[in-house]
């Protein structure tokens, strides 16, 4: 994928130690960071179980992977529904043990459902998906990367519309650290904290003057591309990161330290 106004280059990261054909599950793979991660995983030789709540978008991701010579299959699933998650895992493991998991799916920051419900959807779903994965493939699980955020972890998050978002993203970082110590590296557990990243969810907000002011404070002087997040996710997921466990990595152009 060549870069354009909303996308950066998509890198082949197969040299990071992935075994061709191993299975990686990416939730929220229909768009944005999840789609970029699914495409990068496939380009790096992994077979991708692409999960998303929207059938049309996840099937489009899979079609793009297959058109480029990769292997992928689409599963429509609401990760906040434990019964759907169980069915999705049962379908996924029929194709082989899933060694890698990327927890990317979650509600948008401006979702107006009640606070407790949204925390359950954003944070509870990560625990639900991960626990169900480990129940099925505990002997072969290698690595999980979950999507937190700069909001709540490095900044107050008051620029977000709904308070559940920074609260949940902080919780994901805490859950990641718990996994890292509880599981003893089987799997390794890490998280990334995106800053302002160009995705279908965020692009409509980029005209907001407050957002423009935030972009101006980023040392790199721009927003990030989903492919740049995907590269960080694939690195943490990979065997090349074999001694990295329990990390929350900001991928934000330096915004958190500005």
Rounded-to-integer distance, Cα 214 and Cα 121, Å: 27
> What pLDDT sits at residue 201?
74
SS3 content of the chain, % helix, strand, coil (to 5): 45, 15, 40
Maximum pairwise Cα distance, the chain: 50
Pick 5 or 122 by higher pLDDT.
122
Q: What is the mean pLDDT of residues 195-214?
A: 70
What are the tens digits of pLDDT across the range 51-106?
A: 999 999 999 999 999 999 999 999 999 999 999 999 999 999 988 889 999 999 99
Neighbours of 93 (CB within 10 A): 17
Query: Which of 100, 165, 175, 225 is the catalytic position?
Result: 165
Asked whether 247 and 191 are in contact (CB, 8 A), the reply is yes
Instruction: Place 206 in a pLDDT band, splitting at 50, 70 and 90.
Output: low
Cα–Cα distances in Å, from 50 out to 19, 21, 70, 238, 251? 18, 15, 12, 18, 23
> What pLDDT sits at residue 94?
86
Rounded-to-integer distance, Cα 255 and Cα 155, Å: 9
Rounded-to-integer distance, Cα 254 and Cα 219, Å: 6
Chain centroid to CA 246: 16
Q: Go through the chain and tell me how many residues it has.
A: 258
What are the tens digits of pLDDT across the range 116-126?
A: 999 999 999 99
3-state secondary structure of 47: strand
Using the structure block, give the residue that is written with the tokens 């937190």: 148
CATH architecture of 17-252: 3-Layer(aba) Sandwich (3.40)
Q: What is the pLDDT of the chain when averaged over all its residues?
A: 92
Per-residue 3-state assignment (H helix, E strand, C coil) for 132-166? HHHHHHCCCCCEEEEECCCECCCECCCCCCCCHHH
Asked whether 50 and 119 are in contact (CB, 8 A), the reply is no
Ranges of each domain in the chain: 17-252
The structure tokens listed for 22 are 């191993």
Q: Is 165 a catalytic residue?
A: yes
For residue 204, report the phi and psi dihedrals to the nearest 5 degrees: -60, -25
Asked whether 10 and 230 are in contact (CB, 8 A), the reply is yes
């Amino acid at each position: 994928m060549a870069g354009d106004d909303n996308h950066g280059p998509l890198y082949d990261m197969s040299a990071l130690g992935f075994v061709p054909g191993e299975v990686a599950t990416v939730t929220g793979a229909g768009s944005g960071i999840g789609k970029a991660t699914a495409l990068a995983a496939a380009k790096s030789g992994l077979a991708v179980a692409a999960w998303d709540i929207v059938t049309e978008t996840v099937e489009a991701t899979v079609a793009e992977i297959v058109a480029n010579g990769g292997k992928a299959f689409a599963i429509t699933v609401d990760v906040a529904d434990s019964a759907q998650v169980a069915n999705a895992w049962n379908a996924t493991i029929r194709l082989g043990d899933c060694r890698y998991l990327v927890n990317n799916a979650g509600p948008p920051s401006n979702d107006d459902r009640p606070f407790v419900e949204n925390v359950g959807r954003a944070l509870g779903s990560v625990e639900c998906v991960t626990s169900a994965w480990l129940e099925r493939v505990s002997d072969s699980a290698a690595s999980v990367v979950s999507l937190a955020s700069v909001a709540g972890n490095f900044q107050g998050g008051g620029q977000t519309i709904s308070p559940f978002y920074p609260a949940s993203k902080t919780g994901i970082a805490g859950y990641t650290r718990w996994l890292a110590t509880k599981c003893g590296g089987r799997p390794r557990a890490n998280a990334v904290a995106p800053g302002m990243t160009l995705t279908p969810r965020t692009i409509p907000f980029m005209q907001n003057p407050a957002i423009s002011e935030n972009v101006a404070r980023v040392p790199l002087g721009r927003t990030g591309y989903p492919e740049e997040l995907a590269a960080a996710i694939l690195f943490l997921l990979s065997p090349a990161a074999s001694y990295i466990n329990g990390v929350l990595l900001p991928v934000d152009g330096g915004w958190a330290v500005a």
